Structure 1
Amino acid sequence: MRSASPVWHPFTQHALHDGIPTIVRTEGAWLESADGRRIFDAISSWWVVTHGHRHPPIMVAIRAETERLDQVIFAGFTHPPAEALARELVAITPPELTHVFFSDSGSTSVEVALKMALGFWLHSGEDRRRILALEGAYHGDTIGGMSVGERGVFNAPYEPLLFDVGRLPFPHPGREQATLDALEAACRAYPVAALIVEPLILGAGGMLIYQPAVLAEMARIGRHHGVLLIADEVMTGWGRTGTLFACEQAGIAPDIACYSKGLTGGVMPLAVTLCGDAIFDAHYAHDRRKTFFHSSSYTANPIACAAALANVKVWQSEPVMQRIAALAAVHAKALDRFRGDKRFSNIRQLGTIAALDLVVPDAGYLADIGPRLYRHFLARDLLVRPLGSTIYLMPPYCSTEAEIGRVYDAIAAIDL
């Protein structure tokens, strides 16, 4: 039966989705529905909420900014929240990243990165157009993001719109050299413009983890061949992997970096793409044809920038890293109970992200197991959205051991 609501929800097959909960209030790690249910947000509302829902300092900053500014055109104008935020971001990211371009979502930050890379080579007089990406990657749902992401059910209808990309095998444990060899071969075979990666862990690709040393070696190979490295830290940034940004663990500085999701603490949509002087300078000219032609109507929205600036101050003034370390320890202890459980395989963790695979005959994304698991958790007032048979947890940093324990108890209770 069709819903009475006119709303078309993302990644939702409405013919199979009955009774979508209405959330009327959020606080900490919890969602409250119109019918009085309290639902634990075990995935940070799609990986965006870091400190917890409606974290007070961020909400205070938003309210204050609404008394000063709403939306201001950002083409030819600027405003204090954007200027202050850009300076803070340059200060906490690698020193090689010196320029900040604002957008409004992770997908658009990737589009910006790809356009920056291609524009850099064109304006530098080199014919480099080839983009490389890892198999299984997800970089968003815009055209460029889908092009560099894994091809499959998500983007099959839009195949005519997508451009060709070179694929590198994912560096599974024990098979890392195949990835590095493929990268070396691709760099020798083509004039490669850029390599884009989700550093250390794939997100929608199944929460697959690879080692920092592999990322460091990919960066080294690319640099040897003059290839730009784009780090898509949309999900991995802001502490998710155990460090502020995932690239820190590999000791590398990308040429271009994409940040979103936790940028505002998950409160408001905002994204940034950072790059170094060389990329900015390639577009800096009296020739207007070298202008970086990209924008959105709400670029650098002042209220969103104020939220992000408040988030940076939270990182500077609150023990966020201690909370992350404590949360990681809770995951590690809880995962141990499943290591001898034959129902599960590939038990893994990176920082505050934990995942394990349910052993089933049909484990694909479109298999029935995903929706069945979703219903299993929601019936226990837990928000978990499995990726096929992959169950993953990515809760807000304010989550307690008891709250997270409820989710692991529900995993242990799986009998489908």
Structure 2
Amino acid sequence: MTLKERDKKHLWHPLTQHKTHPETIAIVKAKGCVLTDEDGNEYIDAIASWYTCMYGHCNDDITSRVYEQMQQLDQVVFSGFTHEPAVKLSEAIIEILPKNQNKIFFSDNGSTSVEIGIKMALQYHFNKGDKRNTLIAFEDGFHGDTFGAMSVSGLSVYNGPFEDFFMDVKRIPTPNGKNNDAILNQLKDIVSQDKVAGFVYEPLVQGAAAMKMHTAEGLDMILKFCKANNIITVADEVMTGFGKTGHYFASDYVDTKPDIMCLSKALTAGLLPMAITSCSQDVYDAFYSDEMSKGLFHGHTYSGNPLACTAALAGIELLKSEEIQSNIKRIINSHQKFGARIKTHPKVLSIRQTGIIFALDLNIEMERYGNLRDKLFHFFMKNGVCLRPLGNTVYILAPYVITDTQLQKVYQVIEDALEIV
């Protein structure tokens, strides 16, 4: 019996309606940018397995470091204990984060990193005797699948059954260079009517919203308004972090830095689950008290896991290396050339790019999880490229180690797919 057949007996996959999509692809091996299935077929992983394996699958530099750590210390509770991988990681990540970030809090995944960011924002005001219950978030945002993260998300395709249980969230449009005044007026209306604790946002690129992009200037305007009104700003860089936008973080493009940052996915190079919620000294100080109740009472069993910390530390060292930084520039330039070539195609409605993130919208109406989208996905896989269209949007977010030859194959398969749309 094949893996695919055995899978159907017990497994329930994410983002899947199993009645209409009963089939899976069984991957048995991954190396660099290539996935291999149980039938020996190979696929270029052009989305870095949901933006995680940015230095390539089974990267020897990372796996060897984690193997060494396994022989020394695998796991210890992080409440009341510490260890060298966590301390070294804190030192390394603070060095590349925006300069106002000074403390890091560990959890397990992107959703929980946002959940903690929301709790920090709410409790920050509560601890100061200024209880605030409202949050602001962008329209069409996506921040995860736990309840706080769902509350600030705007994609009802995921959240519809749970909306009656959400927190009080006011949504604003993303800035496009033309609507700044309207957004500012909306913000003024919100703060005149509600006690706003925090603003949760994806900086520059909204991943699940089909790589929808907005301007750094407009975002900076919003962040300045929040600062002026003592609204805690929470940057969800789970997708954008660690070099994908061309800088270490999307927040590096914006003059006004967030009070809190949420990090996961590429944090551990796709090897192990872990997340970090970082914050400024000012946020941390609101919890620093003789009163036990003012502490942040949130914890995960595997918080600060030594193996995950080791993977993250190795990943940061690779990110800072001349080789990876050169590769990022190479991919950006390659995308720009591809974009210039493809943007006039009659089947292409628009293109956009931030760093190594490239997206094109097809000039056709498509459901997010409809038959035509599925047809495109299977066409890509049949031709040896793993791409997951978001409705009529096809995007590329490949590992930094992808070769020029592999990139050209990704581009060619996309162009070939335009002929079947």
Range into which the TM-score falls when normalised by the shorter chain: over 0.9
**Aligned: 1:396 with 2:377:** no
Alignment of 1:257-406 (within 5 A): 257-361=261-365, 363-406=366-409
Report whether the alignment pairs 1:122 with 2:137. Answer: no
Partner AA of 1:187 in structure 2: V
Structure 2 gap segments, 5+ residues each = none
The equivalent residue for 1:161 is 165
* Residues 78-130 of structure 1: per-residue CA shift (max 9 Å, x gap): 11111111121122212211111001101100000000111110001112221
Q: State the AA in 1 paired with 2:414.
A: I
253-262 or 150-159, which moves further after superposition? 150-159
Aligned residue in 1 for 2:17: 13
Which of these residues, 167, 179, 187, is aligned with residue 175 of structure 1? Answer: 179
In 2, Cα distance between the equivalents of 1:39 and 1:176? 43
What is the alpha-carbon distance in structure 2 between the residues aligned to residue 325 and residue 251 of structure 1?
Answer: 23
Call closer, same or farther: CA 1:184–1:320 in 2, change over 3 Å: farther
Q: Which residue of 2 aligns with 1:39?
A: 43
How far, CA to CA, are the matches of 1:120 and 1:241 in structure 2?
Answer: 30
Task: Tell me the TM-score normalised to structure 1 length.
Answer: 0.96
1:112 equivalent in structure 2: 116
The yes-or-no answer on 1:132 pairing with 2:136 is yes
1:196 alignment partner, one of 186, 192, 200:
200
Per-residue deviation at 1:30? 0.7
**Secondary structure in 2 matching 1:88:** helix
Decide whether aligned partners of structure 1 residues 378 and 171 sit closer, same or farther in structure 2, where only a CA change above 3 A counts.
same
Find 1:215's aligned residue among 216, 219, 229.
219
- Given that 2:324 and 2:401 are in contact with CA atoms closer than 8 Å, whether structure 1 keeps it comes out as no
1:43 touches 1:383 (CA, 8 Å); kept in 2? Answer: yes
* Distance (whole Å) between structure 2 residues aligned to residue 342 and residue 171 of structure 1: 28
Q: Confirm or deny: 8 A CA contact 1:358 1:389 kept in the other structure.
A: yes
Mapped to 2, the partners of 1:401 and 1:175 lie a distance apart of 39
Q: Secondary structure at the match of 1:100?
A: strand
CA shift in 2, pair 1:316/1:354, >3 Å:
closer
Amino acid of the residue matched to residue 387 of structure 2? V
Aligned runs of 1:136-147 on 2, under 5 Å? 136-147=140-151
Task: Using the TM superposition, give the Cα deviation of residue 17 of structure 1 relative to its aligned residue in structure 2, in angstroms.
Answer: 2.4
Question: Which residue is 2:99 aligned to?
Answer: 95
Counterpart of 1:231 in structure 2 is 235
In 2, the alpha carbon distance for the partners of 1:386 and 1:155 equals: 20
**1:218 CA displacement:** 1.1
What's the CA shift string for 1:112-157, capped at 9, x where partnerless? 0000111110001112221000000000011111100014121112
Q: 1:98 is paired with a residue of what secondary structure?
A: strand
The one-letter code sitting in structure 2 at the alignment partner of 1:409 is Q
Name the SS of the counterpart of 1:266 in structure 2.
coil
Structure 1 residue matching 2:30: 3-state secondary structure: strand
Contact 1:200–1:211 (CA under 8 A) maintained in structure 2: yes
Whole-angstrom CA distance in 2 between matches of 1:82 and 1:190: 39
Structure 1 unaligned spans of 5+: none
Say whether residues 1:410 and 2:410 are aligned partners.
Answer: no
Amino acid at match of 1:68: Q
Q: Helix, strand or coil for the counterpart of 2:50?
A: helix
> Contact 2:8/2:22 (CA < 8 Å) preserved in 1?
no
| 8 Å contact from structure 1 (residues 30, 39) kept in 2 | yes
Shift of 1:69: 1.0
Please, which moves more after superposition, 173-182 or 132-141?
Answer: 173-182
Change (3 A) 1:372 1:174: farther
Structure 1, residues 237-259: CA drift from partner, whole Å, max 9, x if none?
A: 10111110001111232100011
The worse-fitting range, judged by mean Cα deviation, of 346-355 and 330-339 is: 330-339
Deviation at 1:377, TM superposition (A): 0.7
Deviation (angstroms), 1:18? 4.2
Shift of 1:2: 10
Task: Report the Cα distance in structure 1 between the residues aligned to 2:302 and 2:170, rounded to whole angstroms.
Answer: 33
Aligned-partner SS, 1:258: strand
How far is 1:401 from its partner? Answer: 2.0
Residue number among 252, 255, 258 corresponding to 2:256 in the alignment: 252
Verify: 1:81 aligned to 2:91, yes or no: no
Is contact 1:219–1:229 with CA below 8 Å preserved after alignment? yes
Instruction: Give the C-alpha shift of residue 297 in structure 1.
Output: 1.1
Aligned residue for 1:5, secondary structure, equals helix
Deviation at 1:173, TM superposition (A): 5.0
